[in-house]
Amino acid sequence: MSAETMPDLAAIIEPRLGLPYEQFHCWNLVRFLFKEGWGIDFDADPVWARAQLQDIWFAGTDADPRTIIQPWDGLVYRGQGLASQHVGVVFDTRHMAHADRKLGLCLVPLVEWLPPRCPRLLQIARLKRLL
């Protein structure tokens, strides 16, 4: 799928930048973005919604995640062990949209959230229609 046919992520996120964490904690943000942009409702039918995603990278694989990410990719981060603790969405080649407890909904430099700087990245998931 070409970038021209992707929903405009900037139009969805930019008006909401700075909204408080309580309104858009990380999982709520991801659910909101995929519902608003793609019509995928993770709450209404989580099994169907998860089936729309394909894991394209896992921690420990040889591929460099910096070479394969694209807008709308979901990034899953681990806390202790392998349990997921945080998620974000790739905004563009340089930024990730995520929810920060102090800043609320924000865009952060992607390089700081990818290995080797951030070894907590656990997996990257992409919509199957974008493969």
Nearest CA-CA partner of 84 in 43, 48, 116, 55: 55
Residue 107 DSSP label: E
Q: Does pLDDT of 66 surpass 50?
A: yes
Percent over 90 (pLDDT), the chain: 77
Structure confidence at residue 29 as a pLDDT band (50, 70, 90): very high
Question: In the predicted model, what is the mean pLDDT of residues 43-64?
Answer: 92
Q: Does pLDDT of 2 surpass 80?
A: no
Q: Which two tokens stand for residue 93?
A: 């080649």
CATH number for position 117: 3.90.1720.10
Amino acid at 95: H
Q: What is the pLDDT of residue 82?
A: 64
CA distances, 119 to each of 12, 49, 58, 81 (Å): 29, 27, 12, 12
Whole-prediction pTM: 0.91
Percent over 70 (pLDDT), the chain: 95
Q: Does pLDDT of 124 surpass 90?
A: yes
Domain count, the chain: 1
The span from the CA of 54 to the CA of 115, in Å, is 20
The span from the CA of 72 to the CA of 87, in Å, is 12
Q: What is the pLDDT of residue 1?
A: 47
Question: In the predicted model, what is the mean pLDDT of residues 71-89?
Answer: 86
Contacts of 85 (CB under 8 A, 6+ apart): 77, 78, 79, 120
Query: Mean of the per-residue pLDDT values for the chain?
Result: 91
Question: In the predicted model, what is the mean pLDDT of residues 84-112?
Answer: 94
Q: What are phi and psi for residue 102, nearest 5 degrees?
A: -95, -40
Note down the domain range covering 89.
Answer: 3-130
Nearest CA-CA partner of 34 in 23, 18, 45: 45
